[in-house]
Amino acid sequence: MKRLSTDRLWSMLVLAPSVILLAVFVYGFIIRTGYTSLTDWGNNSLALDTTVKHNFIGLANYQDLFTSLLNARFRQDLVNTLFFTVFFIAGCLGLGLGLALMLDRNPKAEGLWRTIFLFPMSLSFIVTGTIWRWMLQPQGGVNKLFGLDPDKYEWLTSRSSIWQFDWNKVPLITAIVVAVVLAAVGVRALRDANRTRTIVAFACAALLLAWALLVAPRLKFIPVPELHGFNIAFIGILIAAIWQMSGYTMALYLAGLRGIPDELREAARVDGANEWGTYRHVVFPLLAPITLSAMIVLGHISLKIFDLVYAMTGPDNAPTSVPALLMYITSFRANQFAVGAAIGVVLLILVAIIIVPYLASQFRGEKRA
Amino acid sequence: MKRIKAALLVTTAALLASSASAAGKLEIFSWWSGDEGPALEALVKLYKQKYPSVDVVNATVAGGAGTNAKAVLKTRMLGGDPPDSFQAHAGQELIGTWVVANRMEDLSSLFKSEGWTTKFPKDLLPLISSKGGIWSVPVNVHRSNVMWYIPANLKKWGVTAPKTWDQFLTTCKTLKTKNVTPLALGENWTQQHLWESVAVGTLGAQGWQNLWSGKLKFTDPKVVKVWDTFGKVLDCTNKDASGLSWQQATDRVVNGQAAFNIMGDWAAGYLSTTKKLKPGTGFGWAPSPSTSGTFIFLADSFGLPKGAKDRAEALSWLKLLGSKQGQDTFNPLKGSIAARVDSDLSKYSTYSQSAAKDWKSNKIVGSLTHGAVAPESFTSTFGTVIDAFVASRNAQVAAATTQQLADKAGLGK
């Protein structure tokens, strides 16, 4: 008994410094940033006068970010992040899985290939960005190599965008998407013959749809239509980002593929499954947890991405701007510390939306085990 | 014996240390590295000749237009560790950031004792003063509204340098039929730079000054027209602007892919030193359209932060910067002209001599892009407004947004 308590004491003593440091430098600063975002620090010209008191102004900064004319770039950055995240994750997963499947067939010099594909991950985003910037410049490597017309192949400099929508329609779009999801839940509940759930889901979906059709079109955040879409210039950055991170997903998938016992595949073949059927019904389902982990890791990378964009198109190129970049510029160049803090908090919330459910499920899993 | 030796050693070390601290130290903070490094070094050398006992610490933070340096400076100033003297663009960039925060010392008495009030142009002093004080010593002057071209190319295409924006738009049509980019443009800040030339050309010098003193609203039809003209001028530029640095944009002019380029007069140094072209014959220049007789200026300057550790040394540094000898040592190397009107022009290049002549005779107004007329918070966000306009081409929205920005930055208050 005595032995155990000294052990306990030691463990607490050893852990204490990092717990204290974490409490101050992570959680303390998060709270401080959150508070700063609710003040008017930097909203006037006296940003750097430390004798001036900063007034508490509630959520005004957030309201400004989402609705004032002046912050169009923030909203564009959010849209950019959304598109970037989707394509980045899809690209890394697709390419990574493809490479892993190829390597899983035991080609010659497998180790060499593995190293080659994994190598980009050992570079920092700044290095990757600089290399790809050289290659994708209008008169640069890729266009020269393939004899492409620099006026048509504007990898990083294009100013056009596709799939544009009006920011004023965001509530409408959100409501419709949520309603569709609820309807899907309702259909599933109907199939499971769960009556209450069916009714609740369909009722909520109908309510949302009605709101979307009757109220939302009249809602206006901004007096003028503000179009946002997927900016073509992001294609270059996506290529670089996928090049860098698909080796990582390949390694994950390869580990997963190697972890599948041969007996399972043989059993499938005995049951009459062809090659594709084996993958479709045996291999891919077993890889699902890996896909989830990879999505979590890639998702938070893409939300926080800063250095790659900075290196490739610079901090001032609005078509390829992302929230982290805007946060840096707003705080440290325009001296609008409160607005910068607000952007930081929005980013934190976005990352939390991805990470927290995952962590929660992990903890629950651990407890069960 | 050993003990005596040790004692001697300790004493000498102590003596050395104390003499070093008595001689003093001067820490100067700037973002002059690379091309501009030698000019700063020459100044430091001159300072050391005059004050040999002072130990000069050159705290340069490299990085384009000082973005990185400014972030480091903020940390140091707010952390109570200001450098003895630091570089800032003269005008509102310094005033709107550090003077309003009550962190700079008033240099009026220095200006008076050195007799500088009559040595700098009359239009300049109001731009570096506020609240009854003068806040920085301008070291150099650059001109922002210059249009560069290659005379031989223009001859080949049968055009001349346009004098007004209307003429430019006509010339633009001619050049487009010959498959030449009329105006080479680079990344975001050079677009802002172009906007400033369009605005001064459209509004006139007085209108431009009224804009910054709050007498003219950004939503005024006259200012909306600036955006319209700017849009038309943008149609004459290359599409891949956002991917080019100003040097790369200038290269397009040198290569004959583009006819004109509007850039500050650091381009003269680039064209003559790097590209080996002869000023006047190899490359030509003119005031940007509709701005002849107006000099849009920007200047690098040094100020004295409150609480500087080596105040006396910093003051002698500022004295050197404002002196004729100091300015004539620094500027020929930097490719700029002296802020003083009595500099020795024989030391300067052909281009600089012509610029210096204009500096004495023209109407002087401040540059927006380079920090003379608006505080950092305005300039930084204005880049975003430009970007939004480039995408949407909506002059009304751009005007309304700029007015909001001006209200927020407290312009004209």
- The model's pLDDT over A76-119, given as tens digits with 9 standing for 90+, comes to 999 999 999 999 999 999 999 999 999 988 888 888 988 899 88
Measured between beta carbons, which residues in chain A are less than 8 angstroms from residue B67?
315, 333
Compute the average pLDDT of residues B149-162. 93
List, in order, residues 6 or more apart from A241 with CB less than 8 Å away.
A84, A88, A91, A128, A302, A305, A308
pLDDT in tens, B238-259: 988 888 888 889 999 999 999 9
Lowest-confidence segment of A25-29, B167-171, B385-389 by average pLDDT: B385-389
Radius of gyration of chain B (CA): 23
List, in order, residues 6 or more apart from A98 with CB less than 8 Å away.
none
CB environment A109-142: b (16+ within 10 A), e (fewer): eeeeebeebbebbeeebeebbbbbbebbbbebeb
Question: By C-alpha distance, which of A60, A86, A65 is closest to A75?
Answer: A65
List, in order, residues 6 or more apart from B40 with CB less than 8 Å away.
B30, B32, B58, B60, B330
Measured between beta carbons, which residues in chain A are less than 8 angstroms from residue B74?
48, 332, 335
Closest CB from A45, A137, A315 relative to B410: A45
Coil, strand or helix: which one is B258?
strand
Closest CB from B101, B242, B243 relative to A49: B101
Q: A53 pLDDT exceeds 70?
A: yes
Compute the distance between CA of residue A249 and CA of residue A93 in angstroms, rounded to an integer. 6
**ipTM, 2 dp:** 0.79
Partner A contacted by B353 (CB < 8 A): no
Compute the distance between CA of residue B233 and CA of residue B145 in angstroms, rounded to an integer. 15
**How many other C-beta atoms are found inside a 10 Å radius of the C-beta of residue A69?**
20
Partner A contacted by B180 (CB < 8 A): no
Compute the distance between CA of residue A175 and CA of residue A78 in angstroms, rounded to an integer. 18
- Answer whether A73 sits within 8 Å of B384, measured CB to CB: yes
Q: What is the pLDDT of residue B21?
A: 46
- Answer whether A334 sits within 8 Å of B376, measured CB to CB: yes
Partner A contacted by B403 (CB < 8 A): no
Q: What is the pLDDT of residue B16?
A: 47
Q: A122 pLDDT exceeds 80?
A: yes
Phi and psi for B365 in degrees, rounded to 5? -125, 165
Compute the distance between CA of residue A41 and CA of residue A36 in angstroms, rounded to an integer. 7
Measured between beta carbons, which residues in chain B are less than 8 angstroms from residue A333?
67, 70-71, 376, 380
- Answer whether A154 sits within 8 Å of B240, measured CB to CB: yes
- What count of CB pairs under 8 Å joins A to B? 115
Both tokens of residue B100?
């309003």
Percent of chain B predicted with pLDDT > 70: 93
Check residues B65 and A185 and name the one with the higher pLDDT. A185
- Answer whether B243 sits within 8 Å of A154, measured CB to CB: yes
- Answer whether B243 sits within 8 Å of A313, measured CB to CB: yes
Q: Which of A333, A336, A343 to mutate to test the interface with B (most CBs of B within 10 A)?
A: A333
CA distances from B411 to A51, A116, A180, A214, B48 (A): 22, 56, 49, 42, 41
Question: What does pLDDT average to over chain A?
Answer: 87
Measured between beta carbons, which residues in chain B are less than 8 angstroms from residue A138?
240, 243-244
Both tokens of residue B30?
């700037």
- Answer whether A316 sits within 8 Å of B101, measured CB to CB: no
Partner A contacted by B376 (CB < 8 A): yes
Comparing alpha-carbon positions, the chain B residue that sits nearest to A226 is B392
Half-sphere exposure at residue B40, Cβ-oriented, CA atoms within 13 angstroms: 20
Q: What is the pLDDT of residue B23?
A: 62
Both tokens of residue B290?
């509709």
Measured between beta carbons, which residues in chain A are less than 8 angstroms from residue B375?
45
Closest CB from B242, B380, B401 relative to A334: B380
pLDDT in tens, B249-307: 999 999 999 999 999 988 888 898 888 899 889 999 999 999 999 999 999 999 999 88
**CA distance, residue B60 to nearest chain A CA (Å):** 18
Counting DSSP H helices and E strands in chain A, the numbers are: 16, 2
Lowest-confidence segment of A130-144, B136-150, B195-209, B210-224 by average pLDDT: A130-144
Q: Which amino acid would we find at residue A244?
A: Q
CB environment B170-200: b (16+ within 10 A), e (fewer): ebbeebeeeebbbbbbbbbbbbbbbbbbbbb
The distance from CA A49 to its chain's CA centroid, rounded to whole angstroms, is 36
Comparing alpha-carbon positions, the chain A residue that sits nearest to B402 is A70
**CA distance, residue B75 to nearest chain A CA (Å):** 10
Compute the distance between CA of residue B191 and CA of residue A157 in angstroms, rounded to an integer. 14
Question: By C-alpha distance, which of B233, B225, B226 is closest to B191?
Answer: B233
Per residue, what are the HEC states of A317-360?
CHHHCCHHHHHHHHHHCCCCHHHHHHHHHHHHHHHHHHHHHHHH
Q: What is the pLDDT of residue B4?
A: 56
Closest CB from B98, B187, B405 relative to A70: B405
Q: B6 pLDDT exceeds 60?
A: no
Closest CB from B102, B377, B391 relative to A335: B377
**CA distance, residue A24 to nearest chain B CA (Å):** 19
Coil, strand or helix: which one is B141?
strand
B 223-242 residues with CB < 8 A to A: 239-242
pLDDT band for position B156 (50/70/90)?
A: very high
Q: What is the pLDDT of residue B151?
A: 94
Closest CB from B97, B103, B405 relative to A335: B97
**CA distance, residue B81 to nearest chain A CA (Å):** 14
Both tokens of residue A2?
């005595």
DSSP B319-350: HHHHSHHHHHHHHHHHT-EESSTT--GGGS-H
Q: Which of A41, A48, A327 to mutate to test the interface with B (most CBs of B within 10 A)?
A: A48
Beta pairing, strands B294-298 & B140-143:
antiparallel
**How many other C-beta atoms are found inside a 10 Å radius of the C-beta of residue B263?**
29
Q: What is the pLDDT of residue A83?
A: 94
**Structural element, H or E, at residue A85:** helix A72-104
Name residue B133's beta-bridge partners.
B130
Q: B191 pLDDT exceeds 70?
A: yes
Q: Note whether A283 and A127 are within 8 A (CB).
A: no
**CA distance, residue A232 to nearest chain B CA (Å):** 13
Both tokens of residue B223?
């200012």
Coil, strand or helix: which one is B291?
coil
Compute the distance between CA of residue B328 and CA of residue B341 in angstroms, rounded to an integer. 11
Q: What is the pLDDT of residue A171?
A: 83
CATH 3.40.190.10 residue ranges of chain B are 18-141+298-362, 143-295+368-409
Name residue A213's beta-bridge partners.
none
pTM summary value: 0.83
Compute the distance between CA of residue A343 and CA of residue A340 in angstroms, rounded to an integer. 5
Measured between beta carbons, which residues in chain B are less than 8 angstroms from residue A152?
none
Measured between beta carbons, which residues in chain B are less than 8 angstroms from residue A319?
242, 387, 391
pLDDT in tens, A20-47: 999 999 999 999 999 999 998 888 777 7
CATH 3.30.230.10 fits B18-141+298-362, yes or no: no
The superfamily (CATH) of domain B143-295+368-409 is Periplasmic binding protein-like II (3.40.190.10)
pLDDT in tens, B16-74: 444 444 468 899 898 887 777 888 888 999 999 998 888 888 888 876 567 778 888 88
Compute the average pLDDT of residues B317-330. 91
**Structural element, H or E, at residue B75:** helix B67-78
Could you tell me which residues of chain A have a Cβ less than 8 Å from any Cβ in chain B?
A: 42-51, 68-70, 72-73, 137-138, 150-151, 154, 156-157, 159, 161, 224, 227, 233, 313-319, 329-330, 332-336
**How many other C-beta atoms are found inside a 10 Å radius of the C-beta of residue B101?**
20
Torsion of CA B171, B176, B178, B180, to 10 degrees: 90
**Structural element, H or E, at residue B7:** helix B2-23
Q: A314 pLDDT exceeds 90?
A: no
**CA distance, residue B330 to nearest chain A CA (Å):** 28
- Answer whether B375 sits within 8 Å of A45, measured CB to CB: yes
Q: Which amino acid would we find at residue B26?
A: L
Q: Which of B242, B402, B408 to mutate to test the interface with A (most CBs of A within 10 A)?
A: B242
- Answer whether B243 sits within 8 Å of A227, measured CB to CB: no
Q: What is the pLDDT of residue B8?
A: 53
Q: Which amino acid would we find at residue B343?
A: S
Q: Note whether B372 and B97 are within 8 A (CB).
A: no
Partner A contacted by B169 (CB < 8 A): no
Compute the average pLDDT of residues B392-402. 91
What's the CA angle centered on A57, arms A56 and A60, to 5 degrees? 150
**CA distance, residue A43 to nearest chain B CA (Å):** 7
